[in-house]
């Protein structure tokens, strides 16, 4: 096989692989965007506000967020490094985890 043909084949394979990866990434981002649109009407809290409002320690929130089995990752929204907590979705998540209802702090 001619070295140029071999190089052309390698380049075509690399481009095809890159396109497949990009499509996968785009599909994932579109899926995340759709979830964000669904939660669009929900009031959004910062992590600090959610912790204070629902009387949860920040370290507890961080531990639960780091635990893939807790389900908290699916509730919160990430914008780069910033985490936003949709209030209604977070309340539903709390109710599903807690045997007793949580009381909100008076504002």
Whether pLDDT at 37 is above 80 = no
Average pLDDT, the chain: 85
Task: Reply yes or no on whether the pLDDT at 103 is more than 90.
Answer: no
Q: Which of 87, 75, 80 is nearest to 46 (CA)?
A: 87
Instruction: Read off the pLDDT band of 64 (50, 70, 90).
Output: very high
CB atoms within 10 A of CB 77: 16
Which pLDDT band, with edges at 50, 70 and 90, does 39 fall under? Answer: low
Torsion from C-alpha of 88, 72, 77, 30, nearest 10 degrees: -110
pLDDT band at 60 (very low <50, low <70, confident <90, very high): very high
Residue reference for tokens 């509730």: 75
- What's the pLDDT score for residue 47? 96
């Amino acid at each position: 096989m001619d070295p140029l043909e071999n190089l052309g084949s390698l380049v075509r394979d690399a481009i095809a692989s890159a396109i497949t990866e990009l499509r996968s990434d785009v599909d994932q981002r579109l899926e995340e965007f759709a979830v964000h649109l669904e939660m669009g009407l929900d009031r959004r809290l910062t992590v600090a506000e959610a912790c204070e409002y629902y009387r949860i320690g920040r370290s507890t929130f961080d531990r639960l967020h780091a635990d893939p089995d807790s389900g908290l990752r699916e509730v919160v929204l990430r914008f780069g490094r910033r985490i936003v907590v949709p209030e209604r979705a977070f309340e539903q998540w709390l109710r599903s985890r807690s045997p007793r209802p949580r009381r909100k702090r008076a504002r």
